[in-house]
């Protein structure tokens, strides 16, 4: 079954009613046919038919053995880090979503997990960061918000030689453009709130694995901690996925056109988009994915210009989040990454001149026209 078809039919048939849209099972608990017998569902914190359908769908899209649907992307990441114990060491990319950094710094460092941040696009730096107690490497590719690319195959080979796991946040490209498990990664995480859900109307997260033992460990965390996705939210994500392939193509088409337009804008000093041939990660990204996605960042000449654009856009909306049908412009320094130390933010280029654009599925010309009028107010 091809990817586009999986998006529509990959969760299996709905039920025996013939309903095209799957049922939403709003039951918190399920009765047993008899003593020692089960329908396969006991209690919704552990399992639910609507969520089960979504999990089968996501596992199929990522070519995984098992997928688990969480109440948020952060809940999914948190579940993964329950795999580690005090004294364990994890290598982290040094350009990650600010919420992930906040989780690692305020929760897991306090609980005894040791972290080393490195630029994971630099393979020598990754190799140098390994310690005898290293248990995993955690990466985003492309990164948020600096759009850096990491060679998943190379990092996976490096980690597996040392019996360490590789965890990839695949939110920016979605399984439509990139499948990290097929490149050697052990665990994929998603904020399903973003491209997978795709409509800015549901918060969700996912973990996907190929290993039965890892799946069992994550499911134990899942049912114990209880950060499960509700039946209704599962249905919303199933509905969103039906158009995932179509949306990703339009996101990318628009992003390529806007990136090329931004290069010609005099007030733009840098465009960060993996789909530009001059991007340092362009060839690596081409080798491990089938596209470049709909996310880009750009730097302007000064803070005043950044403020002018943020306040001047009319069609594009000034808002956090990403990956939905509507285009969103974000100011990382105050919105997604405010918890970074100023010196760390400055070192990474997350300054008051940096803007991040989640390109929606609107008409390309309308988006460019909106940016043009915002720059020239």
pLDDT digits (tens, 9 = 90+) for 315-328: 999 999 999 999 99
Task: Give pLDDT, residue 346.
Answer: 80
Lowest mean pLDDT of 211-220, 311-320, 329-338, name the range: 329-338
CB atoms within 10 A of CB 319: 15
Find the catalytic residue in 88, 94, 97, 151: 97
Task: Give pLDDT, residue 352.
Answer: 95
Q: Which CATH number fits domain 244-375: 3.40.50.1110, 3.40.50.300, 3.90.1150.10, 1.10.3720.10?
A: 3.90.1150.10
Task: Give pLDDT, residue 46.
Answer: 94
Task: Judge whether residue 377 has pLDDT over 80.
Answer: no
Find the catalytic residue in 51, 53, 135, 194: 194
- Is 97 catalytic? The answer is yes
The C-alpha atoms of residue 61 and residue 353 are separated, in whole angstroms, by 37
Mean pLDDT in residue range 204-233:
98
Task: Give pLDDT, residue 13.
Answer: 79
Task: Judge whether residue 14 has pLDDT over 80.
Answer: no
Task: Give pLDDT, residue 163.
Answer: 98
Contact, 211 vs 66, CB < 8 A? no
- Is 194 catalytic? The answer is yes
The model's pTM: 0.96
Find the catalytic residue in 66, 151, 169, 370: 169
Q: 96 or 11, which is more confident?
A: 96
Helix ranges (H only) for the chain are: 3-9, 49-61, 73-81, 98-103, 123-129, 152-160, 174-177, 212-225, 231-241, 244-264, 282-288, 303-312, 342-348, 364-375
Find the catalytic residue in 6, 45, 56, 267: 45
Task: Classify residue 268 by its DSSP letter.
Answer: E
- Is 45 catalytic? The answer is yes
Task: Give pLDDT, residue 341.
Answer: 76
CB atoms within 10 A of CB 230: 18
Domain spans in the chain, listed from the N-terminal domain onward: 3-241, 244-375
Q: 11 or 204, which is more confident?
A: 204
Rounded alpha-carbon distances, angstroms, from residue 128 to 115, 284, 353: 14, 21, 32
Write the CB contacts of 79 (distance below 8 Å, at least 6 apart in sequence).
Answer: 68, 70, 207, 218, 221, 222, 225, 227
Task: Give pLDDT, residue 260.
Answer: 98
Task: Give pLDDT, residue 347.
Answer: 83
CATH T-level topology, domain 3-241? 3.40.640
Task: Give pLDDT, residue 337.
Answer: 86
Token match 């020239």: residue?
Answer: 376
């Amino acid at each position: 079954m091809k990817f586009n078809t999986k998006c529509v039919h990959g969760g299996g048939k709905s039920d025996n009613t013939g309903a095209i849209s799957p049922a939403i099972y709003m039951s918190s608990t399920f009765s047993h046919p008899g003593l020692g017998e089960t329908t396969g569902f006991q209690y919704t914190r552990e399992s639910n038919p609507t969520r089960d359908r979504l999990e089968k769908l996501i596992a199929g899209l990522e070519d995984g053995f098992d997928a688990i649907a969480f109440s948020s992307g952060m809940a999914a990441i948190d579940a993964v880090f329950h795999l580690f114990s005090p004294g364990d060491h994890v290598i982290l990319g040094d350009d990650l979503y600010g919420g992930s950094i906040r989780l690692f710094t305020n929760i897991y460092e306090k609980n005894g997990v040791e972290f080393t941040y490195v630029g994971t696009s630099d393979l020598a730096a990754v190799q140098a960061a390994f310690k005898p107690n290293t248990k995993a490497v955690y990466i985003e590719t492309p990164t948020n918000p600096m759009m850096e690319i990491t060679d998943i195959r190379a990092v996976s080979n490096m980690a597996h030689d040392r019996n360490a796991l590789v965890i990839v946040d695949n939110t920016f490209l979605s399984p439509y453009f990139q499948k990290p498990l097929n490149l050697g990664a052990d665990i994929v995480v998603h904020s399903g709130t973003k491209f997978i859900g795709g409509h800015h109307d549901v918060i969700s997260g996912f973990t996907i694995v190929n290993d039965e033992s890892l799946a069992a460990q994550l499911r134990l965390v899942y049912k114990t901690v209880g950060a499960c996705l509700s039946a209704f939210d599962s249905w919303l994500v199933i509905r969103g996925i039906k158009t995932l392939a179509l949306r990703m193509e339009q996101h990318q088409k628009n992003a390529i056109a806007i990136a090329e337009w931004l290069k010609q804008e005099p007030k733009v000093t840098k465009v960060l988009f993996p789909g530009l041939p001059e991007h340092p990660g362009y060839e690596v990204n081409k080798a491990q994915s089938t596209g470049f996605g709909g996310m880009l960042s750009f730097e302007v000449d000064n803070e005043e210009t950044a403020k002018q654009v943020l306040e001047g856009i009319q069609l594009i909306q000034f808002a956090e989040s990403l990956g939905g049908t509507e285009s969103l412009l974000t100011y990382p320094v105050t919105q997604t990454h405010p918890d970074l130390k100023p010196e760390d933010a400055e070192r990474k280029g997350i300054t008051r001149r940096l803007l991040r654009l989640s390109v929606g599925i609107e008409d390309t010309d309308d988006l460019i026209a909106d940016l043009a009028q915002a720059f020239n107010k």
